[in-house]
Amino acid sequence: MAASAYPSVNAVQVGSYFVGQYYQVLQQHPDLVHQFYAGSSNMARIDAGSTESANTMLVLFLLLPCEMF
């Protein structure tokens, strides 16, 4: 059997890479963070005293802190 041209990657590795890229873009280019979201995206924000969720682009935008833009 021939060796795969692509290395085996597990879900934890994919998730870790995604989170690293997301926060790097969020910190360095907050105006581009919207590119991580699609029309079918979901988001949950959990703070010490509240939990909020969003499932549309408008509500996602409203949940993100305004100082990011």
| Cβ-Cβ contacts under 8 Å for 8 (sequence gap 6 or more) | none
For the chain, what is the radius of gyration of the CA atoms?
Answer: 16
Instruction: Tell me how far CA of residue 55 lies from CA of 14, 42, 47, 60, 67, in angstroms.
Output: 23, 5, 18, 7, 21
Task: Enter the pTM of the model.
Answer: 0.51
Tens-digit pLDDT profile for residues 10-28? 888 888 888 899 889 989 9
Q: Mean pLDDT for the chain?
A: 75
Contact 64, 53 (CB under 8 A): no
